[in-house]
Chains A and B, each alone.
Chain A
């Protein structure tokens, strides 16, 4: 599949993208002629499931694929760069495999994007007219960037084998350009969503006053940052799922060893970046509150409060899967058995943190339960608030980091003279930071919410980041030149460990769908919050149950398409092998 010449690949990319855009505009033109005129207030109705659900499903699917194709290049290019500098063929191979994944996913992204491109103006013509009036020029920039990005992407992938040796630097630079294009696209699309949710630069009646202000809304940068990090987390998660799938279907030990390593690397990238997500999410929340307190309360403590409980359940499950994967991985590390004694303590810490994290503040109650409980349950009322939840998150992440640490050092023996002191410092940092985080959590109950939100919670997260940096530096120094008990036995993993990797990715995808619904639902009955009302029959918030069903359907469709992608890659590889050229 990589035997297409780079110049031919460019032509292929242009044709494909133009074809999609051409089909999109042609179908749009035909539908506008064929379909009945929109209603007086600017709507057409999608049969059976309604316009909202249709656009909801397509937009979420497009976002999932877009997140994947924008997230993976970030670490693929980074790995190519490191592989190039260290002259490490294995890193180059994994970077190539990641690139293969996102290059092939571009076609699916464009196909779903084309359906969205057709659906929005057909079903919501008045709203899209308004968006075009306010942010029209950004759309045309988007099209140009999309072309450049596709060309760079195709050239980057298909020139991999030709641009080795002294051309590698140029190839890595090409990857850098690909990422710049990706980030530009992300900034443009975030500007659209930002305008819809926290609009600026327009009058009360929606007349454009200042286009730059309409782009530079409260939500723009925090949303872009949140998406950027989440894209890496999600992209790496999909890569891990791919590796797990390839591991399960591997035909020999060499393949199993490689895909085991690929799965581990991808999962650690995913979880490593997810450590930043609470921080950028916090920033996004602050901006939403600053824009409109009413929207902030609704999203955090009002109607959507239940979705945070769902989020806690899902992230808690992800952390359990990650820890599980790392604990199982001790089995393949020579010397790993020495660390099993710590696993039960890490498990208990994770379990208790998980229990606190998912405790709801607003509870579904029968009348009898409500009567017995009063306004708040004395125990649950205290556990279900941010003071305890932030503490649980920090402790849980710390336990997960420790699981990672014991995996990393389990096959090594430090040889430095100060090893005992090093172990003591490590224990002090772990115990000290955990006690400090818990103490701050308890103190948080005694202060005003402003002090908790603006001072104590950032300090808790700060302590966590500081301690993992200290532990990381300490271990790097302590295990420099360490005695290696034995190399990891890559591939010696039970199949169920791979299902944990797939479980992480499925849970991430589901979570993204739920959070996407929440972000969009925050606008309530507005297309553009406070500026342009939604007057369609769908101008109400669906129940959480209904939203969960739609989110689940989106997740199933997405994984069906991802399955198709994995299958295509394997089929192309086999065809390529038969043709004598190895990919």
Chain B
């Protein structure tokens, strides 16, 4: 199925080239939109396809922007509208009018309606928020801890840094790597059992964007501690306060930053 999209892009390019040679803004418009659609969908061949919502946003933006571009000069704008005017008004285009206005468009609208209302067993789309807002304080095994402004106390303990990192590594491979991966890339051997899959720690867009207090909170409380204001979270993260001590959580936090070359947000 994916292989059809480069062909669509090629058709779009062909229409664009021919319409430029023939000086037809209308088909240039159609060709460019087809090209953009084909290219965006072709991303799915190399990596994960763009989600439907992002596709909709990009295509709406393209239609809006191209319409802007083709209406700058009077002659281009007139030529853009001319085929539409002709189909709607010219006497010699009656058959085309019937085909487009009275058959193709109603059928298309009918298809869209059917697609919307047909029985569907997929759960509804959810607006997933990657970084929930942290709570101001938590109770860790009955002890109140203020999360906002909290720093990793082990970072100040320079003489024992290597020891703490080693301990953190051990904790990681005993508890976390099943889901978050041997290489901390979110591809643990249980990862595909979850939907969505667990986040990676590598890269610049997860723990690199967060202060360590946030990571401490997430490890300690897991899915149970997520704020109700922005559900659903779709998280299966356990509450590690049931299994690890406060120091152990700081040690593993130290390790995941060190191992991925990331620095906590300050």
Contacts and interface: CB of A to CB of B under 8 A. Distances in A.
Given A303-B229, A372-B48, A365 B208 contact: no
B136 A301 contact: no
A435 interface: no
A343 interface: yes
A294 B53 contact: no
Interface in A291-342: 292-295, 297-298, 301-303, 305-306, 313, 316-317, 320-321, 323-324, 327-328, 331, 340
A86 interface: no
A449 B210 CA distance: 9
Contacts of B64: 317, 320
A324 B122 contact: no
Interface string B39-71: 000010001111111100110011011001101
Contact of B263 (A298, A305, A448): A448
Given A369-B51, A375-B200, A382-B205, A448 B265 contact: yes
Contacts of B128: 362-365, 370
Given A363-B128, A377-B51, A524-B229, A494 B74 contact: yes
Nearest to B68: A324
A489 interface: no
Contacts, number: 177
B109 interface: no
Contacts of B68: 320-321, 323-324
B205 A361 contact: yes
Nearest to A293: B148
B186 to A, nearest CB: 6
Contact of B50 (A377, A385, A448, A541): A377
B149 interface: yes
B174 interface: no
A377 B49 CA distance: 8
B160 interface: no
A366 B122 contact: yes
Nearest to A292: B148
Given A292-B148, A293-B134, A376-B203, A362 B129 contact: yes
Interface stretch (A36-44, A227-235, A347-355, A405-413): A347-355
Given A293-B149, A320-B64, A362 B130 contact: yes
Given A293-B134, A293-B148, A363-B128, A379 B47 contact: yes
B72 A328 contact: yes
Contacts of B74: 331, 494
B158 interface: no
Contacts of B65: 320, 347, 350-351, 354
Contacts of A343: 72
B73 interface: yes
Contacts of A360: 53-54, 57
B123 A294 contact: no
Given A294-B135, A301-B131, A364 B47 contact: no
B195 interface: yes
A52 to B, nearest CB: 16
A380 interface: yes
B43 A385 contact: no
Contact of A298 (B125, B133, B204): B133
10 contacts: A302-B132, A305-B130, A321-B68, A324-B71, A331-B73, A354-B61, A365-B128, A371-B197, A372-B48, A380-B50
Interface of A: 292-295, 297-298, 301-303, 305-306, 313, 316-317, 320-321, 323-324, 327-328, 331, 340, 343-344, 347, 350-351, 354-355, 358-382, 385, 387, 445-446, 448-450, 494, 496, 524, 540-541, 544
Given A331-B74, A361-B130, 9 more contacts: A301-B129, A301-B130, A301-B131, A363-B53, A363-B128, A364-B128, A375-B186, A375-B200, A449-B208
